[in-house]
Amino acid sequence: MSAPSAKPVKNEASTSNFIRQIIEAGLASKKHAKIRTRFPPEPNGYLHFGHAKSICLNFGLPQTYGGACNLRFDDTNPEKEEQEYVDSIIEAVQWLGFHWGSNLHFASDYFDFMYKCAEYLIKSGHAYVDSQSAGEMRATRGSLTAGGGDSPYRNRTTEESLRLFREMRDGEHADGAHVLRAKIDMASPNINMRDPAIYRIKRATHHRTADKWCIYPMYTYAHPIEDAVERITHSICTLEFEDQRPFYDWLLERLAEGGLVERPLPQQIEFARLNLTYVVLSKRKLIQLVEEGHVDGWDDPRMPTLAGARRRGYTPEGFRRFAERVGVAKSNSVIDFSVLEDCMREHLNEIAPRRMAVLDPVRLVIENYPEGKEELMDVPNHPQKPEWGKRPVPFSRELWIEREDFQETPQKGYFRLFPGNDVRLRYGYVIKCTGYDNATDTVRCTYYEDSKSGTPGADKCKVKGNIHWVSTKHAYAAEVHLYDRLFKLEHPEGIEHLNPESKKVIATQLEPNLRDSKETQFQFERHGYFIRDHGEFNRTVTLRDSWAKS
């Protein structure tokens, strides 16, 4: 698979789109009293970022126009479907903040009706049983530029096709011996209209119907019937289904002619799927990542799944903001991954309390600070939200500071700690660096007693550097996971482009308030946004885009 040719889109705002215009026209003309959409995942994997856009669209439109959205599982392929995936999808949609009430459905709810429709198509001359092998069918199907050829079984009598189809249903034929095909036009320029298969024999236990059926409908046959039965007004799908729309309409017209479905028929509308830089959203490739052990499961925080995003610390509000920002389009484009990260930063900045954390610690000793003395510094929980109040943070003679905040031989323009330089300990005192003890890996300094932040005269101490810290005596030692993008190329094709630096596990020193905090998401000052996950901390996103091109 080649890389997408479209150029990355950095930002694309949208408050209206062509789908809303179609809906508004239908409501204005009284074609629809209210709209009904559906989100129809196949339960053969975990939902990914692309599904988040579809969920926000399908559930968001009825919220805007007064209607309903069905959650429906297209479970027509029992060999690849599992209850685990059903459960994970339900949880993910709820986590995103959407609800379907009593409108939970499965394709398997309609298997009996789909079978009835198939018999009607046979009886009305619109379907036949084909006994060619898969290879023979492929050979007569034609190509994108040349029409196909008729099957030697295309003119089977209605009675013979009906008999064979019932025998298929009753398990009298082996898998692959026959298929039921729609009879349309083998010379059609649209290859999807060249007598597509609509039922196949498949002896597989279904996660809901067990072994009741040994024939299963094809997805392209089942989906329009499900839409019609559920009275869907707008069947919104991605652009790869555009060529399937003629069959979608053909099938529903035939069933409407027989009185099996009601008008007005659902309208299929296609939009551009989500493509992101540095991400693969192919379900096949995501399964490969999991099954081959390149990641730690479907919910690995590096995975572009909603389960992984939740553990990473991404928020439902951030996804909804992202869906609105990238909008809905008719043509494919590639969205820069930083747009998604920016949406998460914006929301996390609003909700995440601030904490101090030292991720690469080096010891700092304040030599003239009294031994055994401790005091509490009043530190704001959020500098832009004074109503959130302050918290006490213990301060003592020995502190942890970031290793990058000290240079024994400073480079030009460096304003933090180096011998002879003054800096402010954030929310604390101004200190002067006196040296570095290589044997004990300790930075040494003295402090100005009258320089404590918030006290009279503290402003007289003017310094250019301001660094954070954690008291060594009170620090909370914890494991922190620093996550980066799973792939190192903008347009990755597969596992050969995995980023070997996508996960780093480090031992850190955190302020003690984090030990028993009821909150789960924080901004570690200067380092980014983090979430507590199973007793550890995962970095959700840095404070700014570290991948920005210079």
Residues identified as active-site: 42, 273, 283
Q: Which residues contact 303 (CB under 8 A, 6 or more apart)?
A: 46, 48, 286, 289, 290, 295, 297, 486
CA distance 131 to 494: 38
CA distance 506 to 141: 57
Q: Which residues contact 239 (CB under 8 A, 6 or more apart)?
A: 270, 271, 272, 273, 330, 332
CA distance 369 to 397: 6
Contact 75, 208 (CB under 8 A): yes
Nearest alpha-carbon partner for 538 in 296, 292, 289, 290: 296
Contact 46, 307 (CB under 8 A): yes
Name the residue type at position 365.
V
- The angle that helices 49-65 and 83-95 make with each other, rounded to 10 degrees, is 60
Contact 476, 512 (CB under 8 A): yes
> What is the phi-psi region of residue 416: left when phi exceeds 0, alpha when psi lies from -120 to 50, beta otherwise?
beta
With vertex at residue 108, the alpha carbon angle to CA 103 and CA 112, rounded to the nearest 5 degrees, is 110
- In sign, the C-alpha dihedral spanning 415, 425, 548, 303 is positive
CA distance 472 to 504: 23
- Two tokens, residue 497: 């482009």
